Structure 1
Amino acid sequence: MLSLEKQILFLISSTEGVEVKRLVEIYEARGVDHQIVRNALLRLKKEGYLSSKERSKYEITIQGLDFITTINQKPQLLGKPWDGQWLTVMFEVPESERKKRDALRSDLLQLGFGALYKSVYITPWDYVEEVLRFAKQYDVEDRLTLLKGSFVAQEQPLTLVKRLWPLEELNEVYRAKIQWFHSEFVPDIEPLLREPSDGLALFVRFLELGELLADLSLNDPMLPEELLEPNWLGRACFQDMQQCLRQLADAIPMQSPYRMFVARFLTES
C-alpha cells in the first residue's frame, strides 16, 4: 500500500466519515492532484479498507481499522521491555500460490519480522494475533506454524539481529532525518505556530511529518533496547518528532475544520 493510501486511511479513521472534497482540499495543499486522491480512495474501497454509504463520503471498514491498528502499534513498542522470547513463523506455500506467499512475506517484513531461513521468520514481539489475521486473509492457515520460546543453540543476540535486520543502514537514515528535522523542519514551522490562521498550513506540516514517521516505522523492526547498540538513534528520532506532532496538532485552532483529524491523536498522546 502506498504512503498516500495509508495516510488517507489514518485521516478517515479519525472521524466518522470524510467527504471527498475535504480530502482533495487537504492534498491539493500538499501538491497532490485531485485525481490521484480519488484513485487512491477507489483502490482502498475496492480492497475493502473503505466503504461509501453516501455519495462522495467515505468511512473506514473493520479491515481498514485492523490495518491502521497494526501499522500504528509499532512506535508504541519504543521502550517496552523484552521478555527474552522469540515468535517464530514457519510456512510452506506452493509456487502455484506464489502471490499469497509473497504477500504474506511482505506483511511479515513490514510488521518487523526478520528472515531467519527461507520461509522462517522471527520477531522478539508477540504478533500472534496479527500473523493469524494475515494467514486467514490469504487462506493459508493450514500451511503455517507458530512457535514461541527461546533459542537453545543460537548465535549471540546482537550478532543475530545485525544479520537479520539492516540496523546500520537504518541508523544512518535516522541520523540524516534528525539533522533535517532540526535544521529545516523546525525553523519552517515556527512562523506557523505563532500565527496558525485556519489551521490548514499547520495540518499540512503535521501530515508531512506524520508520513515520514510512518515510513520510518514500517522500515524499522522496532527491536527492544536489549537487542540494540547504545548508539541507536531510532528512539530519540521518534521522541523528538512525536513531540513536534503533538505541538502542531495542539496549535490547530479548535474551530478549524482540520481539528477533527487530530483530536484523537491528542487524546491518545
Structure 2
Amino acid sequence: MAESRTPRSLIVSLYGAYGRPADGSPFAVSELIRLLHAVGVDAPSVRSCVSRLKRRGLLVAARAADGSAGYALSPEARQVLDDGDRRIYGRPVPLLSDGWVLAVFSVPEAERSKRHLLRSRLARLGFGTAAPGVWIAPAGLYEETRHTLERLGLAPYVDLFRGDHLGFAATRETAARWWDLDTVARLHRDFLELHEPVLWEWEESGADGPPRPQAAYRDYLLALDSWRQLPYADPGLPVELLPDDWPGGRSAEVFGRLHELLRDAGERYVRE
C-alpha cells in the first residue's frame, strides 16, 4: 500500500484514518465519492480504484447503514493497516541495545518472481541489504515482518534471526552502507516542505476557534497520505547511527502535531 497522492493511495489513507469503525460499517459508494472529491479525486477515478482494490482482495462489497452499496476492508487489509498503525502513529524511540533482526533467504531459480516479491517487500518493510540474500532491520520490526511474510506465503523461503552487530567496522559506518540515508532524508525534507507550512497556518489560526471540519479533513488526509510512506522508507534507526542534521525527528513532530490538531475535527466531516 504505497504511492502517495494518487487516487488509490488516498482511498487507502481514507480507510486507514476513518474506515475502521468499531461496528465495522462500510463506506457507501456515494460517501467515498464525496470524501475523495474533497481532496481532488473525481468520481470515475474513485470507482475505478475501488474496483481494483476489490479485485486485489483489499475491499469487500457490503451494504452501508442506509442500505446502499458500499465497501468495507477485508480482514487482510485490516491486518495490513493495523500493522501500519504501529509505524505511522507509534514510532517508539529505537535503542541501539534493542539489536537487529536478520532475514536470510534462498529462493529457487524457478521461482524468481517470488525472489523479486521478497526483496521488494523487505525493502518496503524498511530492511537494508547487509549482503546478498541477507537483509537487516531494527529488531522492533520483527512482528510486522513475520506477519507480512506469512500473509504473502513467503515464510518458507526465509529464516529470521535476532542479534547484535559485533564489528568489525563501526555500526554507524555500516548502517550508512546498508541503507540509502540520503534518499530517506530527502523524503523527510519533501514532507516538511509540503506540510510544515500547513501546520504553521493551523497553529496561527488556533485562537479563532476549533478547526473547520472539511478543511481539517482535507489537510489531515493529505498529510497522512504523504507521511504514511515515510515510516516504511525510514527503518527507524537509533539516533547514534544517524547523521547529525537528520530531519526525521522534525517531520515526525510535524505529522504528530497535525494528527493531534486535525484528525478528530476531520472525522466530523467524514461522519456528516
One-letter amino acid of the structure 1 residue matched with residue 38 of structure 2? A
- Structure 1 unmatched ranges of 5 or more: 261-269
Match of 1:47 among 42, 50, 56: 56
Q: 95-104 or 193-202, which moves further after superposition?
A: 193-202
For the structure 1 residues 118 and 14, does the alpha-carbon distance in structure 2 shift closer, same or farther, using more than 3 Å as the test? farther
CA distance in 2 between counterparts of 1:197 and 1:123 reads: 39
1:12-46 CA-partner distances (Å, limit 9, x unpaired): 22462211111110111211121222222222222
Shift of 1:233: 1.5
Q: What's 2:131 paired with?
A: 117
Q: What's 1:13 paired with?
A: 20
Q: What's 1:132 paired with?
A: 146
CA distance in 1 between counterparts of 2:229 and 2:133 reads: 25
CA distance in 1 between counterparts of 2:212 and 2:253 reads: 27
CA contact (8 A) 1:87 1:149 kept: yes
Match of 1:32 among 4, 28, 41: 41
**TM-score in terms of structure 2 length:** 0.82
For the structure 1 residues 225 and 187, does the alpha-carbon distance in structure 2 shift closer, same or farther, using more than 3 Å as the test? same
One-letter amino acid of the structure 2 residue matched with residue 178 of structure 1? L
1:121-175 CA-partner distances (Å, limit 9, x unpaired): 1012233333333333333333211111123444211111111112123224433
- Structure 2 unmatched ranges of 5 or more: 4-8
CA contact (8 A) 1:78 1:235 kept: no
Which SS does the other structure have where 1:126 is aligned?
A: helix
C-alpha RMSD of the superposition: 2.8
One-letter amino acid of the structure 2 residue matched with residue 28 of structure 1? H
Within the alignment, does 1:60 sit opposite 2:84 as a pair? no
Q: List structure 1 runs of 4+ shifted beyond 6 angstroms.
A: 195-198
For the structure 1 residues 184 and 258, does the alpha-carbon distance in structure 2 shift closer, same or farther, using more than 3 Å as the test? closer
1:57-113 CA-partner distances (Å, limit 9, x unpaired): 122222112111222222423424343421110111123322222222222111111
Which SS does the other structure have where 2:245 is aligned?
A: coil
Instruction: Output aligned runs, 1:222-233, within 5 Å.
Output: 222-233=236-247
CA distance in 2 between counterparts of 1:74 and 1:64 reads: 16
Number of residue-to-residue matches in the alignment:
258
CA distance in 2 between counterparts of 1:141 and 1:215 reads: 24
CA distance in 1 between counterparts of 2:107 and 2:44 reads: 38
Matched residues, percent identical? 24
Within the alignment, does 1:72 sit opposite 2:81 as a pair? no
For the structure 1 residues 151 and 82, does the alpha-carbon distance in structure 2 shift closer, same or farther, using more than 3 Å as the test? closer
Which SS does the other structure have where 2:97 is aligned?
A: coil
Shift of 1:5: 4.4
For the structure 1 residues 239 and 14, does the alpha-carbon distance in structure 2 shift closer, same or farther, using more than 3 Å as the test? farther
**TM-score in terms of structure 1 length:** 0.83
CA distance in 2 between counterparts of 1:51 and 1:23 reads: 14
Q: What's 1:267 paired with?
A: none
CA distance in 2 between counterparts of 1:208 and 1:183 reads: 13
One-letter amino acid of the structure 1 residue matched with residue 54 of structure 2? K
CA distance in 2 between counterparts of 1:193 and 1:12 reads: 30
Which SS does the other structure have where 2:150 is aligned?
A: helix
Q: 119-128 or 21-30, which moves further after superposition?
A: 119-128
